[in-house]
Amino acid sequence: MSRIQIYDTTLRDGSQGEGVNFSLQDKLLITAKLDELGFDYIEGGYPLSNPKDEEYFQRAAEMDLKHAKVCAFGMTRRKGVAAEDDTCMIALRDSKAPVCTVVGKTWDLHVTEVLRIDEEENLAMIRDSVAYLVSEGRELVYDAEHYFDGYRHNPEFALKTIKAAEEGGASIIVLCDTNGGCLPEQVAEAVDAARAALDIPVGIHTHNDGDLALANTLAAIEHGAIHVQGTINGIGERCGNADLISAIANLSIKKNYQVLHDNGVQHLTELSRYVYELANMSSRTGQPFVGRSAFAHKGGMHVHAVNRIAHSYEHIDPELVGNERRILVSELSGRSNIVAKTTKLRMDQDPDLMTNILQAVQDYENIGYQFEAAEASFDLLVRKVAETFNPHFERIHYRVNVETTSDAIPQTEATIKLKIGEFEQHVVGEGDGPVNALDTALRKALLTHYPSLSDMHLVDYKVRVINSTEGTAARVRVIIESADENDVWSTIGVSENIIEASWLALVDSVEYKLYKDEGAFEPNDD
């Protein structure tokens, strides 16, 4: 089984994406996670660009990495300056990184029109920079910037540039589709040419401007590249980089290459969500392999087939990448969806009950509910239809008051009166807004009776207008995502009043948490 080197540039190229900003601690945490899973190279940044990257390399040198090598990124020496005197070369040397990645110009357009130097000087800059860092004991990865554009416009010169890097002592030449506009057949041709010209291996670095970064990466591997550069979740400048999550999954599962550690691929879903969290980005539900919708089934016919033969509608077993199969419930659902979803609730598969649940789902969705996005509310609905739902509390009334003056921040206060068994609780809660105030008051009223609620917190809150033609009287759908130490779940509320819709979603969230803690939703092992 051949091994493909995995080179992660999330911390450098990925951080150039719009809205992405990793702290120093974020970068160190991601480094540790990538090393744990068996990534071969981790590009930490450009030590000359900012103090954070400079400190990162000093801190990374103190980390007890088991497998990965940290790489410092930089450009070739400047024109007319000796490599040993160039500030970039010195920064790379002093970074303590065992690997240096040097990027140089491959396209003659950049040489003559951007750098405004002659071709011989460009070749010398590449050769000298690589040779200097190799002489300092560093493993050298050479990134041939704009290689594919350069090869298309002037193949002879493009090949001379990568040959110069080889002559300087580079360990590998990485061919970069910097503009992200190549087609797979163009990549294949140019990779073949590079391999014919060189005696050292080649790698691939693609961008996604033509939505072909992954296809181009796989084409390069098919034509002999042994090293893949990219970012976790494909984050990066413009349209992003090749997504290493999908690249690794395809290379390992579909192409049978050796990548990461033995169980590293099984943690791809965890890794994807970990990086999204540290980057403060919302995950893509439809992201291949690791998205929440990647193995979600909604149509009744599909679910019926999946229940019998999973691979009939799934290209891989979701567990291979640490994901899970989800059965969605909506007005399009058939009986198979309901059967699949209610199995975990330990209910007899009574045909009449299944019919009643399906009818209830369709009735609720007719007024704006959407249970595919709120599975916790669906689980509670099933209990209600089956008459096994006993509320942990009952609302007597609530009131929300918002006060403001011309020069003050609005103050929000919620008053709630609940019945909990034989007891009544009448409490007041303050918050940044009506929903926050309601949530605060509800918790205050319930914590004495249900202390486990202290572990629960709100993760996300979404509002959508359903029937916009009604203007300000339109019905709204509120979806709340909640979490505790073990799980994440979503609930829904619909009403013409946004406060009431929020209240309904909040109540479902709390009820689900309490039922879950009682073991009501544990999988049925019978």
Sign of the dihedral through C-alpha 6, 10, 14, 16:
negative
What is the structure's pLDDT at 331? Answer: 46
Which pLDDT does position 221 carry in this prediction? 98
List pLDDT tens digits, range 122-133: 999 999 999 999
Q: How confident is the model at residue 468 (pLDDT cuts 50, 70, 90)?
A: low
By CB atoms closer than 10 A (0-12, 13-18, 19+), residue 200 is middle
What integer pLDDT is reported at residue 77 of this predicted model?
94
Report pTM: 0.70
Residue 210, SS3 per DSSP: coil
CATH class of 361-389+455-526: alpha beta
Q: What is the Cα–Cα distance from 288 to 281, expressed in whole angstroms?
A: 17
| Residue whose pair of structure tokens reads 């590998």 in the numeric block | 172
- Which pLDDT score, from 0 to 100, does residue 419 have? 94
Query: How far, in whole angstroms, is CA 313 from its chain's centroid?
Result: 24
Q: Which amino acid is at 250?
A: N
At residue 303, does pLDDT exceed 50? no
Q: Distance between CA atoms of 26 and 130, rounded to whole angstroms? A: 30
Report the range out of 17-31, 189-203, 450-464 with the highest average pLDDT: 189-203
The answer to whether the 361-389+455-526 and 393-449 domains have the same CATH topology is yes
**Every domain of the chain and the residues it spans:** 5-261, 361-389+455-526, 393-449
Tell me the DSSP string of 108-154: HHIIIIII---HHHHHHHHHHHHHHHHHTT-EEEEEEETHHHHHHH-
CATH class of the domain comprising 5-261: alpha beta
- The mean pLDDT of 507-511, rounded to a whole number, is 95
The highest-confidence range among 194-198, 298-302, 393-397, by mean pLDDT, is 194-198
User: Does the pLDDT at position 470 exceed 70?
Assistant: no
d(CA 444, CA 449): 10
Find the range with the poorest average confidence among 81-90, 152-161, 323-332, 392-401.
323-332
Q: Give the confidence band of 102 by pLDDT, cuts at 50, 70, 90.
A: very high
Looking at the DSSP assignment, which residues form a beta bridge with residue 297?
A: 327
Return the pLDDT at 337. 52
Q: Which residue has the higher pLDDT, 225 or 409?
A: 225
Q: Mean pLDDT over residues 477-483, rounded?
A: 90
- What φ, ψ does residue 261 adopt, rounded to 5°? -80, 175
Mean pLDDT of 379-384: 89
pLDDT in tens, 385-430: 888 899 999 999 999 998 887 677 788 999 999 999 888 999 999 9
- The model's confidence at residue 494, banded by pLDDT at 50, 70 and 90, is very high
Mean pLDDT, the chain, whole residue set:
88
Q: What is the pLDDT of residues 305-362, one digit of tens each?
A: 555 555 566 788 888 898 877 665 554 454 455 555 555 555 556 778 878 887 888 7
Q: Which pairing describes strands 457-465 and 41-45: parallel, antiparallel, or unpaired?
A: unpaired
pLDDT at 457 exceeding the cut of 80:
yes
Q: Quick one: pLDDT at residue 114?
A: 82
Q: Is the pLDDT of residue 491 over 80?
A: yes
Residue range 393-449, CATH number = 3.30.160
359 Cβ neighbours under 8 A, 6+ residues apart: none
- Looking at residues 437-446, what average pLDDT do you find? 92
| Amino acid 342: pLDDT | 57
- Between CA 282 and CA 19 the distance in angstroms is 11
pLDDT digit string, tens, across residues 282-297:
788 889 999 877 777 6
**Among 498, 505, 504, 497, which Cα is nearest to 481's?**
505
Pairing of strands 411-420, 423-431: antiparallel
Q: Which of 34-38, 251-255, 271-275 has the lowest mean pLDDT?
A: 271-275
pLDDT at 466: 75
Give CA–CA dist 494/485, Å, rounded.
28
Quick one: the chain helix, strand, coil %, rounded to 5?
45, 20, 35
pLDDT at 225 over 90: yes
pLDDT at position 311, please? 56
Continuous segment of H or E residues that includes residue 277: helix 268-278
pLDDT given at position 281:
83
CA dist., res. 102 & res. 162, Å (int): 12
In the chain, the amino acid numbered 51 is P
Q: Tell me the average pLDDT across 459-479.
A: 77
Residues 6+ apart with CB under 8 A from 1: 256, 257, 258
Please report where in the chains the tokens 């209240």 appear, as a residue.
Answer: 503
